[in-house]
A and B are shown apart, each in its own frame.
Chain A
Amino acid sequence: MVYAIEAHDLRKSFPLKVRKRAGASGVGDTGGAEGAEGAGGDAIAASVEAVRGVTLYVAAGEVFGFLGPNGAGKTTCQRMLTTLLSIDSGSAQVAGYDVSKNPHEVRQQIGYISQLGGADLPATGRENLRLTGRLYGLAPRQVEQKIAQLSRLLSLDELLDRKVRTYSGGQKRRLEIALGIIHEPQVLFMDEPTTGLDPQNRLSLWQHISKLREGGMTIFLTTHYLDEADQLADRLAIIDHGQIVAEGTPAALKGQVKNAQGQQPTLDDVFFEKTGRSLRDISWEDEK
């Protein structure tokens, strides 16, 4: 089996700011917190373990959904896999390269579309695409060909020569996808691709993502939307408090549980079964 992504026991902690709290202990409920009392007893230096031993395999050509509430460690995992964050312990291979040892090679093989997007707002879509294409080492002529091709794929035609600042949310998202795939990456990472989009744009984006899958691209997407994971993912993992609590195809996961009202089980039932909480409720709280 050829894996596009392999991660073994990934861990990541973040230092918490030293807070002055008289005799306090415990540091919120995000992940596993380790508190240590400083000299004098009023300063607490602590770290939060955002990712606590994540192991996962994604086959080439698969759409893998990473489902969990905000603050569960999805983005942190994805940032480690995309070389943006260093890995505390564990190891990961993406597109055949070790993320820690060969970050440069990994970067050549992957695309990443962050939740924030990150297109240059004062520049036009075309300027954004040209810069990104050149940074991936494409020759100017190749870049122009790719722009024409992507513009057809993602319906960017009338947008290209407008400044990104004037785009709607859905238009900006489409441009950012184009920026993420201009170099034809083997593996595409998407962080919450449809957050902030209206239902119509979400649907259209789902169709675009399906088109990419048909082209053979491996897609790793994080989401806190149950229907999105259900709709798009061939296989998914549910992550909560930095640990994977369930993994499988959406159908297999739903087959393991019963719905409380006797209806068709949903992924929310799976989430409730594994964590004792409902994802619908906790997604409201922006724990990030």
Chain B
Amino acid sequence: MRIATETGLFFMRKMRENLRQPMWVIANLMTPLLYILLFSPLLANIANPPLSMAGVLNSFVPGILTLLAFSSGMGAGWTMVWELQSGVTERLRVTPASRFAMLLGGVLADIVNFLVPSILVILISLACGFSVHLLGLVILLFLLCLLTAMVSACSSSLGLIFKQISSVAAVVTSLQLPLTLLSGVLLPISLGPLSLRVVAHFNPMYYTVEASRQLAAGTLASSQTLIAFVVIVPLLALALWWATRVYQKAVH
């Protein structure tokens, strides 16, 4: 019970911090909107005959949500470095509060940072012709929340290990592009040669993108969805365990 209270306290702390940085909130919203407005029209003419806007959105929006899930979690490392350098981490670590709660509070705040722009993206896409299965969408968002949590925990660990914003930023952003390309977010991996398709299977995001297309289309029970959960849940547990362990020892 104590751990839940503490998690709540750390979550509220992060949320207040986020709301005080409106520029970040806006920046977070812009990326997915730009993809939809500036990139998805290009996809329409790839196929012959050209796809309708609705057709494009149906295959593209689930991927965009995955992209958003990743980028919402990846900033956690920056914050960790900042808190380490300013002594916040040490101050919190001398309190008897649970270290897992300290970490989880931030992870949950990142999940909110993912959900709010996601819902906005979905609403705008719906207005442009995107059709989605409601229950499928709920399961899809849940799966992607787990992805955000996993990325957030990993980024936190990296921040505490490297202890420098420039290093974490370099590592995380250099992972972001290959993971994005190899997940089939922008174009389906099935278009690629065998080697690319094989490498993609080592990318956790590939499974969430595959599952999210099924779920958005309303196929609730598919092997893709099952596999995505089987991949993400243990990875998330591992990432949280790792991050808590690193956090327990972090000093400036």
Query: Given A114-B87, A118-B88, are A107 and B16 neighbors across the interface (CB < 8 Å)?
Result: no
Q: Which of A109-124 contact B (CB under 8 A)?
A: 110-112, 114-123
> A135 contacts the other chain (Cβ, under 8 Å)?
yes
Main secondary structure of the interface of A (DSSP, over half): loop
> B13 contacts the other chain (Cβ, under 8 Å)?
yes
Cα distance A134–B2 when bound, in Å?
Answer: 11
- Which chain B residue shows the least CB distance to A113? B91
Query: Given A84-B251, A116-B252, A135-B6, are A110 and B94 neighbors across the interface (CB < 8 Å)?
Result: yes
Q: Which of B5-28 contact A (CB under 8 A)?
A: 5-6, 9, 13, 16-17, 20-21
Q: Is the CB of B17 within 8 A of A122?
A: yes
Cα distance A122–B89 when bound, in Å?
Answer: 15
Number of interface residues of B (CB under 8 A): 25
Query: Given A84-B251, A122-B17, A135-B95, are A114 and B9 neighbors across the interface (CB < 8 Å)?
Result: no
- Which chain B residue shows the least CB distance to A124? B16
Q: Which of A97-133 contact B (CB under 8 A)?
A: 104, 107-108, 110-112, 114-123, 127, 131-132
- Which chain A residue shows the least CB distance to B19? A122
Cα distance A100–B13 when bound, in Å?
Answer: 30
> A5 contacts the other chain (Cβ, under 8 Å)?
no
Main secondary structure of the interface of B (DSSP, over half): helix
> A83 contacts the other chain (Cβ, under 8 Å)?
yes
Cα distance A122–B13 when bound, in Å?
Answer: 10
- The number of residue pairs between A and B whose CB atoms lie closer than 8 Å in the complex comes to 72
Q: Which of B85, B87, B95 contacts A115 (CB 8 A)?
A: B87
Q: Which residues of A contact B17 (CB under 8 A)?
A: 120, 122-123
- Which chain A residue shows the least CB distance to B94? A112
Q: Which residues of B contact A111 (CB under 8 A)?
A: 94
Q: Which residues of A contact B21 (CB under 8 A)?
A: 122
> A79 contacts the other chain (Cβ, under 8 Å)?
yes
> B97 contacts the other chain (Cβ, under 8 Å)?
yes
Q: Which residues of A contact B89 (CB under 8 A)?
A: 118
Q: Which of A59-80 contact B (CB under 8 A)?
A: 79
Cα distance A86–B250 when bound, in Å?
Answer: 11
Cα distance A118–B93 when bound, in Å?
Answer: 11
Q: Which residues of B contact A127 (CB under 8 A)?
A: 13, 16
Query: Given A79-B251, A123-B16, are A84 and B95 neighbors across the interface (CB < 8 Å)?
Result: no
Q: Is the CB of A114 within 8 A of B90?
A: yes
Q: Which of A84, A108, A117 contacts B93 (CB 8 A)?
A: A84
A interface footprint on B77-98 (CB within 8 Å = 1, 0 otherwise): 0000000011111111111110
Binding site for B on A (CB under 8 A): 79, 82-86, 104, 107-108, 110-112, 114-123, 127, 131-132, 134-137, 176, 179
A-B contact pairs, 30 of them (CB 8 A): A83-B93, A83-B94, A84-B94, A107-B94, A107-B96, A112-B94, A114-B87, A115-B87, A116-B86, A116-B87, A116-B90, A117-B86, A117-B91, A118-B88, A118-B90, A119-B88, A119-B91, A120-B17, A121-B86, A122-B16, A122-B21, A123-B16, A123-B17, A127-B13, A132-B91, A135-B92, A135-B95, A135-B97, A136-B96, A137-B2
10 closest residue pairs by CB, A with B = A116-B87, A118-B87, A118-B91, A107-B96, A112-B94, A135-B97, A135-B95, A118-B88, A114-B87, A108-B96
Q: A108-B96, A136-B96 are in contact. List 10 more A-B contacts (CB 8 A).
A: A104-B96, A116-B86, A117-B91, A122-B21, A123-B13, A123-B16, A131-B13, A135-B92, A135-B97, A137-B96
